[in-house]
Structure 1
Amino acid sequence: MSIFPDALPESRVPDSRDAPVLNWGIAGPGWIAERFIESVRAHTHQNLAAVGSRSAARAADFSAKHSVPASHGSYKELAQDPNVDIVYVATPHPHHFDVAMTAIESGKHVLIEKPMGITATEVAAIIKAADAHQVFAAEAMWTFFLPKFDVITQLLEAGALGELVTVAAEYGEYFEPDHRIFDQDLAGGPLLDLGTYPLAFVSRVMGAPDTVAAIGTQHPTGVNGQLSALLRFAGGGHGTVNTHLHNFTPTTALITGTEATLHIDGPFNMPGGFTLRHHDGRELRYDQAAGAHLEGLHFEAAAVARCIAQGLTQAPQRPLADTLMTLELADEIRRQIGVTLPETTTRK
């Protein structure tokens, strides 16, 4: 039986400026690192202490452009910088594992861009290493750190939708032909880039599926161009996921229960609103200005700083078990549609 509320709960996410300050090292001076710096500087008091790259010149250029005090020509040097508390791993996907392990083995906390690794095997190894070195580790799945997702979590925990029967999410986007997403050597295709969002969302709400049925279509460049998956969960619930590289979609998400439906405005993975609608017509609206990385990435940085100050080694907003579950699901989808990944490390 649902407990449909008279009003939506308030978000429990504190002001990002109130978080304890960490000294951050940026591994990988690329597009997402720039967005992270912009958001953190606009909304927090976190300190950006250093940047590292495989290219000393690229690190130096990024350091000068973004006024980051120190630059390093290797990820090992960045990890060994005594002025760095935590490394934000923002390299291309196939390099997440080695860069994260280098930081962990140097005793640094890590926030690793999604996906944490390109396979569940990599994620499990990162989790094991972080535990052995007693450092914090989390996947930078920034969606789950947003205030709206705290409100959604409270609604789900309160049973406001009744028994959950269907969860659906999709994410399609257009990319220019020279984008890295078409590069097989960089684990191209939508699954590990766009697809992690709907996969993480559906599994966050429903748990691990007991049945997965996936189909895929190749892109002319050779990478997977589109995939869809139908998931079945214990108790009979269903999940549907679609992601592709062909064009922009609304990128919405839907949670349907026996009593109420929750529809998240697109793009569902970014700041914005949602509507909770009971089957009798009652409706509650969560309104938040639509935004993107500038308005949203700071929440994960602030949450990580609070976790570390409290002595936690993972983030409750994105538990490591959830990250591993998402990559296990991605592995099964890859297996079914015949997608292979590049060799990424000599550590295995």
Structure 2
Amino acid sequence: MRKPQERWRLMLGKYADRQLGGCLSSADSRRDQALDYLYAREYQKRGIKPASGGRKGSLDPTQMRALDWLGEARNLFPDAVFETLQSDAIERYQLADLLKDPKVWEDLDPSPALLRTLLTYQDRADPTMQAELRRIAQKVIDDIMQRLRSKIVRAMSGRRNRHQRSPMKASANFDARATVRANLDTWDADKKRLIADQLVFMSRQKRHLDWTIVLCVDQSGSMTESLIFSALMAAILTGLPGIKVKMVLFDTSILDVTDQLDDPLDLLLSVQLGGGTDIGRAVSYCEMLVEQPSRTVLALVSDFYEGAGPRRLLASIARLNEARVCMLGIAALDDSGQADFDRGMAEQLAALGMNVAAMTPENFADWLAQVMK
């Protein structure tokens, strides 16, 4: 554990050397240099010149290439911290090397944060890089979809049935309690452990999935990661039998992208991030897409900060509830499941029959499976 002096030195940077210098370990000195390479730009913006005659071996911005820094930062910091540094390098400081050098893009870790950055800077990169950026974006999408597909398909394939045993020995169907009960006579008292000679697995009930899922997704800048996961989940759900998916994007205007769900990359590249938010207008449009209310799920993906008056939105939600449409309000759909949203509006929507939560894509799939029993 670091001493308070070391922690303060890392937070304050090289300009605290005179007061706190000499307290960092070799590894922390490398971390300090990597952080200085990126965040020293804050000092430069304020007209503060780099300190002269500082510690030897310092890696000032003029001495380190972006690719060198990228590899160093990846080795020095945990994944979550590295993703933040990577995002700041491109979004906050717009490092030219990261936008122009194909080798740098190839070395970036595929992640939703990287895909968000690619979408944000698709028009800023050198024209000769457009094809390369598209290739990398497709690779990121493929990686995320491969991770999600098996979990979503398993969740939607049927509820586990504890009363019926299955010959299919899949780990997802393993029944731990029933296995313990079936092997009580093999308890080893000396070693204090159960020797399981018989493993018990649950079967899955098949379900007729004649449902329509209407995804109504906020495309404002703060919802970018949720938009990404919504598009990928829509593509996966579209491939399941008996499920019809419709997708509507909105800010103050409305874009029906139902015909683009088979190509998430094209869909995401067509999005114009930012703008205001008129949730009521979008939900009113989605009302017109409902054909069988009792077999329809409306999933509103938004932070619920309504730019227009709330009357139209609340009236639409009340009508959909009366028609027995299953309504889910998703304040965030990303890997963290954390969200900053208008809690007052969320409470009003919940009072009118909408279930509201922030969640990960896997939990959203489980939620859909529960409501579509």
TM-score w.r.t. the length of structure 2 is 0.27
TM-score where L is the length of structure 1: 0.28
Q: Which has the higher contact order (CA 8 A, sep 6+)?
A: 1
Higher percent of residues as strand: 1
